[in-house]
Amino acid sequence: MKIVHIEDFVHPDAGYQLNSLAPLQRAQGHDVTIVTGQLDKIPDDLTAFFGRDNIEERDRQFEIETGVRIIRLPLLGFYSGRAIFAPGLVRTVNSLRPDVAFVHCEDTVTGMTFIRLSRWLRYPIVLDCHMLEMASQNRFREYFRKFFRMFITPIILKEQIPLIRVVESDFVEKCLAIPLSHTELLSFGTDTHLFSPSADTRVRMRSDLGLADDAFVIMYAGKFEETKGGKFLAETLRARFPEIGGRPIEVLAIGNTNGSYGAEVEAIFAESENKIVRRPTAKFRELARYYQCVDLAIFAKQCSMSFFELQSCGVPVLFESNEINSGRCFNSNAFCFEPGNMDDFRAKIIELAGTPPEVYRRYRTNARQYILDNFDYVPIAQQFTDVLTRAIAAWKAKGRPTYSD
């Protein structure tokens, strides 16, 4: 099967869903291509974390490692998290003669373009939705939703275009009038072979990073920006944590900062009374060795796919309580603090650092088992592929034209 993924923003070093899904589909034996935008028009707050330098070489390396080709097309601009492609996107996808196109994010300009053209294409499209109500903050959102409900949703329903929800939320029904019965819920997940516990790596990495072997090491890896609570996180780590039973609390902070906000974050880190080891942004596949050497991961605000990789490495997670995170606290595998409450955030860190070792070992086991039972991405990726296969069968059953005709 020839699969073309269409996504506004892709970086080969990132850990987004597509960076795992596309290679796993290639490993299933399919011909997989990603069509995405060039990075020159992508905002700095998206590209600064991984960088734009040598992107062609990085794309080639990704293809060598995974067998998935990345094709980049020019953009006219990027507004409100949406890419505006220059003319030629649909023509390029058509030239690849796909059996199916997976158009990521139904509510982008790109998504709506393919939805509107869907009945005239020679291949079916499949959509997905990543949006949550708490992340939809554009001041024009109500106008957009009304437009979508009037002009886009009817096409999705009439043409029976499959829509995959990747988070357990009623956003599409509540805001876009797409019945949940029309959708499929397929979760995020992780490569449980790459991201797994390793006692040897724990010892070696702590030595390499200068972290004490007996320390309770907490870690944040990601963007140090406002939406991720960068300053809130740094302020939480400013005052000295007490030693618990003679065991120090040390911090590993991984990720680049950007602009004036990032400079403020770095300044607060520099003033911290705690030991903070700083490292720049790491490639997605290199993160496992950092995760394997820590005891607890912390997130001040939004927590995305990092949660799954950390849990797969047997690392408990502490994050703010919200509609998604609370549901991920399944069996002492993860813990929540009150949003915006720095005192509660610190208190939970100290409480977890003081957990008896035999109890904390169960937390680690619970974290790993939670992923193995629910979010192993190898079978999940096959479920995504099954949706694409069914879309092709339904398309042919309607007598629609294909490139194999």
Domain of residue 255 covers 199-374
What contacts 314, CB < 8 A, 6 or more positions away? 196, 197, 364, 365, 367, 368
Q: Dump pLDDT digits (tens) for 51-94.
A: 888 999 999 999 999 999 999 999 999 887 789 999 999 999 99
Q: Is the pLDDT of residue 138 over 90?
A: no
What contacts 248, CB < 8 A, 6 or more positions away? 212, 214, 215, 216, 241, 275
DSSP 347-403: HHHHHHHTS-HHHHHHHHHHHHHHHHHH-BHHHHHHHHHHHHHHHHHHHHHTT---T
What contacts 34, CB < 8 A, 6 or more positions away? 4, 5, 6, 7, 10, 18, 22, 68, 69, 70, 71
Q: Are residues 381 and 366 in the same domain?
A: no
Pairing of strands 75-79, 82-85: antiparallel
Please give the DSSP secondary-structure letter assigned to residue 76. Answer: E
pLDDT score of 376: 92
Q: Are residues 25 and 55 in the same domain?
A: yes
Whether residue 224 is contained in a domain is answered as: yes
Q: Are residues 32 and 169 in the same domain?
A: yes
Q: Are residues 357 and 208 in the same domain?
A: yes
Q: Are residues 319 and 350 in the same domain?
A: yes
Other Cβ atoms within 10 Å of 396 Cβ, number: 14
pLDDT score of 404: 86
* Residues 318-332, mean pLDDT to the nearest whole number: 90
Question: How many domains does the chain divide into?
Answer: 2
Burial class (CB within 10 angstroms; exposed 0-12, middle 13-18, buried 19+) of 329: middle
pLDDT score of 305: 78
pLDDT score of 397: 96
- Maximum mean pLDDT: which of 19-23, 269-273, 306-310, 376-380: 269-273
Check which CATH number belongs to the domain holding 343 and give it.
Answer: 3.40.50.2000
Per the listing, tokens 């094709």 go with 71
Q: Is the pLDDT of residue 6 over 90?
A: yes
Q: Are residues 203 and 172 in the same domain?
A: no
Phi-psi sector, 122: left (phi>0), alpha (psi -120 to 50), beta: alpha
Cα–Cα dist 191/94, whole Å? 31
Q: Dump pLDDT digits (tens) for 197-246.
A: 999 999 999 999 999 999 999 999 998 999 899 999 999 999 999 999 88
Per the listing, tokens 């062609």 go with 56
User: Can you give the pTM of this predicted structure?
Assistant: 0.77
Q: Are residues 105 and 177 in the same domain?
A: yes
Burial class (CB within 10 angstroms; exposed 0-12, middle 13-18, buried 19+) of 246: exposed
What contacts 229, CB < 8 A, 6 or more positions away? 299, 300, 301, 302, 320
Q: Dump pLDDT digits (tens) for 188-207.
A: 788 888 899 999 999 999 99
Whether residue 26 is contained in a domain is answered as: yes
Q: Is the pLDDT of residue 352 over 60?
A: yes
Cα–Cα dist 262/249, whole Å? 24
At residue 4, the 3 state secondary structure works out as: strand
Whether residue 403 is contained in a domain is answered as: no
For residue 316, which amino acid is it?
P
Nearest to 138 by CA among 150, 127, 148: 148
Q: Are residues 280 and 235 in the same domain?
A: yes
Q: Are residues 318 and 359 in the same domain?
A: yes
Q: Are residues 107 and 209 in the same domain?
A: no
Q: Which helix (H) or strand (E) holds 339?
A: none
